[in-house]
Structure 1
Amino acid sequence: MAGSATDQVFQFGGFTLDLGKGTLGRAEQPAFLRPKAYALLTHLARHIGRVVPKSELMDAVWPGVFVTEDSLTQLIREIRKVLGEETIRTVSKRGYMLIPEIEPVPEPGAQPIVAVLRFRNDSADPADEAIVDGIAEDIINGLARFDTLTVLARNSSFSFASYSPSEWPVVRSRIGADYLIEGSVRRHADSIVCAVNLVDAASASQLWGDRHQADYAGLSAIQQEIVEKIVGRLVVRVNNAGLQRASRQPVASLAAHELVLRGVALLRDPAQSELKEAAAFFEAAIVRDPAYGLAYTYLALSHVLNSEFGPTSDAVLTKARDLADRGIALSPDQATAHRIQSLVRLNMREHEAAEHHLRIALELNRATRTVSSRWGIC
């Protein structure tokens, strides 16, 4: 949906509806609807991307007048004749939904692509739709701060609803999402309960789920509390899911990013018994892409982790520092690069430099309140 300053302009199916001007058209060619059909389209546009119940539509178009569903069906047919059959979706036994303009499918890339679907409103009050959408939008904004993920915009993801699992496999082909975040929100008199699930779009299987409850202390505070709890968990879970997906593929077919993920998976092993194998993955990633900053960063970390099993020589620490510097030079906006450089400098007893890089890392990644792990592996 594209909105003006007063949210009076909507785009769908190549058409633009300007409620302020009272116009409907495509490519500067006007389209015409009868008054009742235009009123129905207007109400659907004001709730674009949401399933609008039939009773609500009839009340909006024929206020105070009893009509049958046949009258509503006839207007829907008229609108579809002008706009196209795919513009308005029929949701069985629920109502109709005007589909927003869908963004082009992103080009395939190494980063996981995440879509936050429109959350389900489990409250009895339809007025809570704004709260539900606001929480989902805040999750989108929170995830978008992490440059290890590609997060689709609301215009794309909100055209699919959390209460339609049968549509999940379609999301991957329609908007290119690898992972889906779906959920529901229920508001009580003094609290809000938010349930969130992470779904693998390819298999439509749930990878993780959690439930959060916040006491009522003002709507803004509740949204912030819920989103802060959810976003930190989702980033780790999405990255873990990417690691699992990469580990199922033959090594020979992995791109530089996937090689790094394989190496990080070994670093995450509590035993850390395969540090040399992890370093080999990072070195292979550098061969594949000499400009890939994170490969140098994690290679530096693999050298520092050897200190767990004995003293690390000054020569090894110097090499790790140089690798970390190279990683920062190639990826200056990566919080991970500065976090690992901070660890290297700490092992070198360069405390001021360690604090300097840690502060930069925290500044680059404000969306998380805590460091993800002891060694900064994320």
Structure 2
Amino acid sequence: MEAPRPLLAFDGFILDLTRGVLTAEAREVVLRPKTSAVLAHLLAHAGQVVSRDALLTAVWGDVAVTDDSLTQCVSEIRRALGTDKAGMLQTHARRGYVMATRPRPVAPAVDPATPLAPGAATRPGAEAPMPTGKLVRSRVAWAGLVVAGSGLAVFAGAWIGADGVPGPAAPAVVASAEPSSWAHAQRLLEDGRAAQQGDGTYDERLRASLPLFLRALAVEPRMAEAAAELALVHANLRSNGTSRDPEQDLREAERFAALAMAARPEASMSLAAQAAVLRQQRRFAEAIVFYERAGASPHRVVDRANVGIMHLMLGAAEAAQPLLRAALLERPRHQFAASWRIFLGLAKLMTGQPDEAADDFLVSTGIYFPTEERLLYRLVALHAAGRLAEAEALDANLRQRDPALLARPLRALGMSDEAAYRARFETAVLAPLHRMGWVAVGR
């Protein structure tokens, strides 16, 4: 029999210290391991001011991290507590944090999937095992709760109520779905991936896949691949500049990546989803670690390429080039190959290889780069390489285009706030453009 999991109750919440799950009534929120550890330490010292240094030492030990890592954990705890209870975690300026509550240990709930021995009595206050039909409905109710933030709760609720009997509250422990349920979720997962390879723009294909991945997660809430795909969709909508609500997409990416990591923390898809979230948070050095682990799978060339892109975002253009070249050699027709080549061209510009870089910008427009921006980079490369006739012809062509398209912010400049990256970009790209009379570009 599985050993009881340590649980802490406080103000209507239960923190499962093993699973890293915070539960309030029928709502479960999966916390990242470090966030769960921060909350547990604060609860262990409830009512006391705990300094930032004490928290960093208790949770991260000797590992060097920035204060931002702790700040993000605190923000995640407050989001998990909800608007009404977020004030329970108080900030004391220049002193630390206080959990204004009184936690108490509680016995773990009975696993409804585990039948009692014949004739055995339940422990005082415990519910009897629920009938099979109700257990199935409660699994579906849990599925609806997992994806409620993305609007699928209505779908799940309609499904539960199809027989006219409302499903019970989600149990503390949810048993694995039946094999047929898993197979159904797997089909939905593959349909979502097929939608991403279908017709339409990249944005349209991403949005077409979203409801399919959501349905897969509703059918099988522990399917890490579905949660990871959802995290990647929300992250990619931000990356390619088509997000309708960047902050909401970031929150959704964080939530689904946390679900994937909780379900299968060593799976390549889970690692890639966590890396994508760190990339959106502009924590590039941390993202590299997860991309490298995900890229250890022979099928994850995209993650190996992303390691190179993260090096570039940190300003390490030299380290970026061999990784991007290897990815292009391995998968020259990958849907991201054009973008990889543009990133490679930028890395070459930053390291004084304009002649080679010029041809990298001849590719069809990458997913992340508008045509006019790519051609501006080619103009810089041609001019720096001394290919002046080609540069003059391209310059004249660009000046005939819509000025509004040419004056908009450069995507590549806005991708990183790292000082090393911006300094190299401004020296290798912006300064030459301004000298050629393109003074509005990058302003």
**TM-score per shorter chain, which class?**
0.3 to 0.5
* Bigger proportion of residues as helix: 2
* Bigger proportion of residues as strand: 1
* TM-score in terms of structure 1 length: 0.38
